[in-house]
Structure 1
Amino acid sequence: MGNPVIDQLMNRRSVRAFSGETVSDDDLATILRAAQQAPTSVNGQQVSLIVTRDKSTIRRIADIAGGQVQVATADVFVTIVVDFNRTAHACQAAGVTQQIADSAEGLMVGAVDAGIMLMALQVAAESLGYGTTAIGGIRRAPQALVELLGLPAGTFPLVGTTIGVPDKTRLPRVKPRVPLSSFAMHERYDDAAVAAGVTEYDRTLAAWWQEQGITDMPSYCRATAGYYQSDYFPTVGDVLARQGFSLADK
């Protein structure tokens, strides 16, 4: 008998086509409660969620993210917010001034905790039969999202996730990954294994697309280079500064 948790994780896929059915209120509450149990650094709980069900607001978020249909057609959108406003209130109650948001460590803490929260949300949703996709595109125009969601200083919308009932006739195949030996390295980082893994995966991914009759997708190397040859969300730094984040310790 297989392990259902391992089976779910091994078959994780980004669901971009939804049936139009509704996520039940009870299921959504369960997903949110389960995700809230995710760990956070020093138990600071410096993550908040903005849960959007209003369809016009979801469409606006889709526009902010670059016109993503997978967002516009989701039943629920959850924005994961780095929230040092909460911890500022805690520091104030203790009679001290919060400093962490002015440091590189603060950004690291917020990003790590947001990533953990994203995984917790998605695993919980998928365990109940829903489909999800991580949406980093909300950082394309972060100031617009800050204003739309009414986010105060000390917060930043880092990533989001869709939640919806999958259209089972349009489920994507599970996408392969780089070779395990170039991903999980024992004792020390192995740059030669990483480089070899990139070459092998470039071929593997191309073959995976071809097996599905899709010939116009870029290779792994070309796709990655297309994003990482430039700063593709160039306003993030400015909006972080407006929201009260800095790197005073640099």
Structure 2
Amino acid sequence: MNETIDLLKNHRSVREFDKGKDVSESEVATIIEAAMAAPNWINGQQVSIIEVRNPKKKAALAEAAGNQRWIDEAPVFLVFCLDFYRAKLAAEKNGSQLQVVDDIEAVIVGSTDVGIALGSAVIAAESMGLGTVPIGGVRRNLQTIVDLLDLPEYVFPVSGLVIGHPGTIPDQKPRLPLKATHQQEEYNAKIQREAIDEYDQTISNYMAERTNGQDSSNWSSKVARFYDTGFEQYAKNSSPILKKQGFHYK
């Protein structure tokens, strides 16, 4: 093992921050440089990262993301956007059409590039002793986010990232057993239910210990509930705003 592997395997999402400690501009610049050095499709660099420090704007973003107070409390909030606006300018410069935005491929490419960049940013921040938590809630009230950040066409916010000095560091949440997620040569569907049963018990025990017995819910119940009705706020926003931003996929 080495320090990088140890860092990756020790990841925790932090939601309590030391309000007395700032994150310097040089630290943020280093984090963004690391994120933008990540692999991306055709070197198209379909990602833009918007740094927000203004207290009023952070408070508005926190509310729009579902009243997630850690956005407001931490010193820095980064919003990761899939971005084909530069590709549009490249197309205009070269007399071409930006036909990719009429296909779902643009959303897949942009979201994948954002995910890779976001992961790199998390590791860069944690290597500096900073805490982070990704925020998918930026997609809860998308028009508010688009307006607050003045996003042009072909730019769409995929995820946020809170960055600050940890106030408290939570226990690490267990992951699914590797037999569920690490497949060899072909997908093993037969093992999945057994792995879920095993993981449900692990998560139930973890939650009970973390909440002093007040919550012993398991993984499958939370996932089932969210993907039944919990995602509706996202669903009613994502597709209309994607299309309003110029992504007219069928």
Taking structure 2 as the reference length, what is the TM-score of the superposition?
0.95
Partner amino acid, structure 2, of 1:243: Q
Question: In 1, distance between residues paired with 2:197 and 2:216?
Answer: 17
Matched-pair contact (CA < 8 Å) for 2:207–2:217? no
Q: Name the residue aligned to 1:106.
A: 106
1:183 pairs with one of 169, 181, 185: 181
Within a 5 Å distance, the mapping from 1:1-250 to structure 2 comes to 2-20=1-19, 21-167=21-167, 170-212=168-210, 213-230=212-229, 231-232=231-232, 233=234, 234-248=236-250
Q: Provide the secondary structure at the position in 1 that maps to 2:58.
A: helix
Question: In 2, distance between residues paired with 1:114 and 1:27?
Answer: 20
1:246 deviates by 2.0
1:237 deviates by 0.7
Q: Provide the secondary structure at the position in 2 that maps to 1:23.
A: coil
Taking structure 1 as the reference length, what is the TM-score of the superposition?
0.95
Question: In 1, distance between residues paired with 2:213 and 2:117?
Answer: 33
Partner amino acid, structure 1, of 2:199: Y
Q: 1:197 to 1:104 in 2, by over 3 A?
A: same
Question: In 1, distance between residues paired with 2:146 and 2:213?
Answer: 38
1:210 deviates by 2.1
Q: 1:150 to 1:210 in 2, by over 3 A?
A: same
Q: Provide the secondary structure at the position in 2 that maps to 1:160.
A: strand
Segments of 5+ residues of structure 1 without an aligned counterpart are: none
* Alpha-carbon displacement from aligned partner over 1:183-209 (angstroms, at most 9, x marks no partner): 101011111112211111000001112
1:225 deviates by 1.4
Matched-pair contact (CA < 8 Å) for 2:208–2:216? no
> Percent of pairs identical after alignment?
38
Partner amino acid, structure 2, of 1:228: Y
Question: In 2, distance between residues paired with 1:181 and 1:216?
Answer: 27
Count how many residue pairs are aligned between Structure 1 and Structure 2.
245
Q: Provide the secondary structure at the position in 2 that maps to 1:159.
A: strand
Segments of 5+ residues of structure 2 without an aligned counterpart are: none
* Alpha-carbon displacement from aligned partner over 1:18-43 (angstroms, at most 9, x marks no partner): 00110012211111111110111000
* Alpha-carbon displacement from aligned partner over 1:100-146 (angstroms, at most 9, x marks no partner): 11111111101100101110111111110100001000100001100
* Alpha-carbon displacement from aligned partner over 1:64-120 (angstroms, at most 9, x marks no partner): 001011211111000001111111111111110111111111111011001011101
Q: Provide the secondary structure at the position in 1 that maps to 2:48.
A: strand
1:217 deviates by 5.0
Quote the RMSD (CA, aligned, Å). Answer: 1.1
Question: In 1, distance between residues paired with 2:32 and 2:156?
Answer: 19
Matched-pair contact (CA < 8 Å) for 2:156–2:242? yes
Question: In 1, distance between residues paired with 2:78 and 2:25?
Answer: 14
Question: In 2, distance between residues paired with 1:150 and 1:211?
Answer: 44
